[in-house]
Amino acid sequence: MGGVTAETGCLRLTPIRASRCAVCGVREASFCAVLSASELQQLHAMSSQKVFEPGELIVEEDAAVRQVANVLSGTIKLFKLLPDGRQQITGFLFGGDFLGPMLSGEYATFAEAVTRVELCLFDQDRLREQMDAWPHLERRLFEDATATLDRALDWMLLLGRKTATERVASFFVMLADRVASRDDVQLTVDVPMSRSDIADYLGLTMETVSRQISHLKRQGLLEPSGAHAFTLPDVPALRRIAGGNEPN
């Protein structure tokens, strides 16, 4: 019962969030949702929390540490680099998402905090051991990987075959889907990342992204809502453009 709560001074170990799972805002969204109360307690005992500032690299790789994490809050970008610096963002992580082992094929994947980010960290090997004991945990992480693969394959279609307009529309549809909510309702999405991050996610340049956003604004499909957010008055229309039907 004593718990980890009082570990202040430690560099970056966050005392901000009471670190008990009971009050964790993303418990139901994360893999923790499949765990029983006692399992949660066990897992909590082997977790630690950490905060990253915007722009900070979240290494957790090739360092001997080998950790994985749940994103408690904030936005992370995952990306790959070509030797000459060209960058492709392979995905964004938001609160509740799982930051798995950065398995690398030909190119390493890096993770960087876009906003201030709070992570709930686990030792990768210890979590793997738990997977042996808790098949439902393994099943859940499997499903997670499967969903990630799914999104990656959809994104390949975007990168290989969609026009600039379609890509930018797809980007906002993606954000809308992550915020959930209904299609027919006009909804507001946060856009914490820079134009140039969006470009690196869509395989475009910053300038093209900016022009396309302006165009969508003129069409009334995008309304600026504060510094880092847009209101989407007609998500179905956006979705139509994203899909690649639109005559113009």
Contact positions vs DNA (CB under 7 A): 163-165, 194-196, 203-211, 213-214, 227
154 binds its own copies (CB under 8 A): yes
188's tokens: 């507001």
Provide, rounded to whole angstroms, the least separation between the CB of residue 34 and its own copies.
15
> Cα 178 to the chain's mean position, in Å?
9
Provide, rounded to whole angstroms, the least separation between the CB of residue 111 and DNA.
18
Which range, of 14-22, 33-41, 69-77, 200-208, touches its own copies by CB under 8 A? Answer: 200-208
243 binds its own copies (CB under 8 A): yes
Give the DSSP per-residue string, 60-109: -SSSTT-EEEEEEES-EEEEEE-TTS-EEEEEEE-TT-EE-----SSS-E
For its own copies, which is the closer residue by CB, 51 or 89? 89
109 binds its own copies (CB under 8 A): yes
Nearest to 108 by CA among 73, 61, 69: 61
For DNA, which is the closer residue by CB, 122 or 230? 230
Residues near 186 by Cβ (< 8 Å), separated by ≥ 6?
A: 231, 232, 233, 234, 235
* Residue whose entry in the numeric block shows the structure tokens 């980010």: 117
Phi, psi of 34 (to 5 degrees): -90, 0
Q: Considering CB distances under 5 to 8 angstroms, the limit depending on partner class, which of DNA, its own copies, none binds residue 36?
A: none
Q: Considering CB distances under 5 to 8 angstroms, the limit depending on partner class, which of DNA, its own copies, none binds residue 53?
A: none
Q: Considering CB distances under 5 to 8 angstroms, the limit depending on partner class, which of its own copies, DNA, none binds residue 164?
A: DNA
Strand order in the sheet with 117-123: 47-52, 117-123, 67-73, 98-99
Provide, rounded to whole angstroms, the least separation between the CB of residue 180 and its own copies.
15
119's tokens: 């992570």
86 binds its own copies (CB under 8 A): yes
Q: How far is CA 138 from CA 67, 74, 120, 124, 159, in A?
A: 17, 25, 18, 13, 31
197 binds its own copies (CB under 8 A): no
Position among 14, 88, 194, 231 found at the interface with its own copies (CB under 8 A): 88
* Residue whose entry in the numeric block shows the structure tokens 């009471």: 18
For DNA, which is the closer residue by CB, 95 or 203? 203
The footprint of its own copies (CB under 8 A) covers 80, 82-84, 86-88, 90, 103-107, 109, 132, 135, 138-139, 141-142, 145-146, 148-157, 159-162, 200, 202-203, 243-245
